[in-house]
Amino acid sequence: METCVRDDSLSRSLDHRQRLPLGPRSTSLAAGRPDRSFESLRHGEMGKLLLEQGRYQEALTQFEQALALDPHQAETWSSRADALSGLGRYEAALQSIEQAQALAGVANAHLWVQKAVLLILLNQPQLALTCCNQALWRSPSHLQAWLFRGVALHRLGQLRAAYRSYQRVLQPAIPAVANSMRRLCQDLALDQQAS
């Protein structure tokens, strides 16, 4: 039995000698028993589609089915956190992110930012700031890390530091967008001074 390749140009470039033999995991597919990792991947991808549509409960169900089949997928834990966050279940989402970090390691800047956003939603700006700093330590040009670092600093009342973080987001932006963002920052500063 040969592996099916959907890309015809790739299919033509492979001759019979170059095709990989079926391994023990693939034989279970041939026998009609779905492979657990394939099923996990299928549920995870379906969950992502549902997440994009804003169907958070259905997406969560798909992610949980994927994790029941393969609980060692950091990306699925991260996606589960997005679904939980969409449902307003921030504490549970935070636990999912921590599980993703345990699997992926602490080097993933995206997970640090995702954790920071949840901490901001949970009104824990000091911890969110620490997470943003962790992300920036690993990826100094991570725009979302700079943005949410600014939000955390803003919530902590450190307005000048917040605006410096916002400026880091604006540097690569188109001038018109940058000017709009500067005006927004000025408006926020005036609002803060007035209150």
184 part of a folded domain = yes
Query: What is the model's pTM?
Result: 0.70
**Residues contacting residue 116 through CB under 8 Å, at least 6 positions apart:** 128, 129, 131, 132, 135, 145, 148, 149, 152
127 part of a folded domain = yes
Across the chain, the runs of DSSP E, i.e. the strands, are none
Q: Is the pLDDT of residue 34 over 50?
A: yes
Q: What is the pLDDT of residues 98-149, one digit of tens each?
A: 999 999 988 999 999 999 999 999 999 999 999 999 999 999 989 999 999 9
32 part of a folded domain = no
Q: What is the CA radius of gyration of the chain?
A: 22
Identify whether the C-beta of residue 3 lies closer than 8 Å to the C-beta of residue 20: yes
78 part of a folded domain = no
Which of 63, 91, 68 is closest to 79 using CA atoms? 63
Q: What is the pLDDT of residues 68-112, one digit of tens each?
A: 999 999 999 999 999 999 999 999 999 999 999 999 988 999 999
Q: Is the pLDDT of residue 47 over 80?
A: yes
Token pair belonging to 29: 């597919």
What CATH code is carried by the domain that includes residue 141?
1.25.40.10
Token pair belonging to 171: 């540097």
**Across 40-56, average pLDDT:** 96
115 part of a folded domain = yes
Token pair belonging to 6: 């959907």
Q: Looking at residue 178, what is its pLDDT?
A: 61
Query: Domain span at residue 154?
Result: 107-195
The domain total for the chain is 1
79 part of a folded domain = no
C-alpha 83 chain-centroid distance: 11
130 part of a folded domain = yes
174 part of a folded domain = yes
Give the integer Cα–Cα distance in Å for 172 and 30. Answer: 51
